[in-house]
Structure 1
Amino acid sequence: MPDTYRTENEPKSELFDQLSHVRAGMLGIEGSGAHMRPMTHFADAGKAVLWFITSRKTDLAAQVGQGATAHYCLVGEDTGYFACLRGAIRQSDNSEMLDELWNAVAAAWFTGRDDPDLLLLEMSLRDAEVWSATNSRFQFGLEIACANLDKDAKPDIGAHTVVRF
């Protein structure tokens, strides 16, 4: 469950906590004209980097080319946490990182760790916009009722902030 206080006061740590709980988001390449696609991310909070494993044969690999700007959208499943992250994305030949990330799920898509179609993408985060909302039905109902009783009042049911890396 997201913490609205942390979204406002510790947005980077809350973002990376949420990235550790939600396993997939939607990745798109700016200016490509293509739709975003679901991808599993691997987050490195210390370096503000997201890693992705894909195939060299995908449209995504072609769109990244030698480097591009990407957007990655995260929606917490039933948690009220939403984020849109932006940064430079590039193809990476970091075999040590690929060894660290390699798992049974990734292996299901390839013939093995040395599959020539295997491609590691590195997204260096530049900024993110994040929102979190209360999960309390009581608080939500109370805020909506108060806002309906007082037209000058606005419901306080969440937090929003911009994060720079």
Structure 2
Amino acid sequence: MSHSISPHENLSGSVAIEKIKHITEGSGTCFFSTHVNGDTKSRPMALQEVDTEGNLWFLSDVNSDKNHEIFSDSDVELYFMNHSKYEYMLIKGKATVSQDKALIEKYWTDFANAWFDGKDDPSISVIKVAPNDGYYYETKQNKLVAMSKMIFAAITGKSIEDGGIEGKLEI
């Protein structure tokens, strides 16, 4: 039986925030998961920014199910995947919703016109996710090297380092 392993490197504070910025901004979108009556509901969301404190920012319709679910339970999970680079991240945090015009102005993009009637649309809200913790996995080498190592382990049955690194994130 082959075992491919990844070294662990747990990160905290500003180092964890930099890792969050690197992986999430490389991905650009995530599955944004809320909790309702014991069920998890997920939908794709475009990330606007990770700020210097590690908060993740999104635009959303104030009348969306997601926003109503956040008002009921502010615990959310964000799942980011940049498959082309083998970078993956889970962020757990607390979400808050705001209709602050300055924040809407800051995070507005032309891409948002697909969902809203311009940045003055009264249904626009900004969601801030303040991360508590998370987990990441990324390749240390390029994707081809990592895949080659995993294939070698599968064929030979030998344990090898899979070319990745993973660990907990504490903010």
TM-score, length of structure 2 as denominator length: 0.79
Structure number with the bigger relative contact order (C-alpha 8 A, sep ≥ 6) is 2
CA distance in 2, matches of 1:25, 1:143: 26
Distance 1:96 1:66, change over 3 A: farther
The 5 Å alignment of 1:73-152 reads: 73-133=79-139, 134-142=141-149, 144-145=151-152, 149=156, 151=158
Amino acid in structure 2 at the alignment position of 1:55: D
What stretches of structure 2 of length at least 5 have no aligned partner? 1-5
Q: Which residue of 2 aligns with 1:13?
A: 18
Unaligned runs of 5+ in 1: none
Q: CA deviation at 1:120?
A: 1.2
Instruction: Give the paired residue count.
Output: 160
The residue number in structure 2 matching 1:35 is 41
> Residues 45, 115 of structure 1: CA spacing in aligned structure 2 closer, same or farther, 3 A cutoff?
closer
1:69 aligns with one of 51, 58, 75: 75
Displacement after TM superposition at 1:41 (Å): 1.0
Instruction: Pick closer, same or farther for the CA change 1:119–1:66 going to 2, 3 Å.
Output: farther
Task: Decide whether the 8 Å contact of 1:54 with 1:120 is kept in 2.
Answer: yes
Q: What TM-score do the two structures reach when normalised by structure 1?
A: 0.81
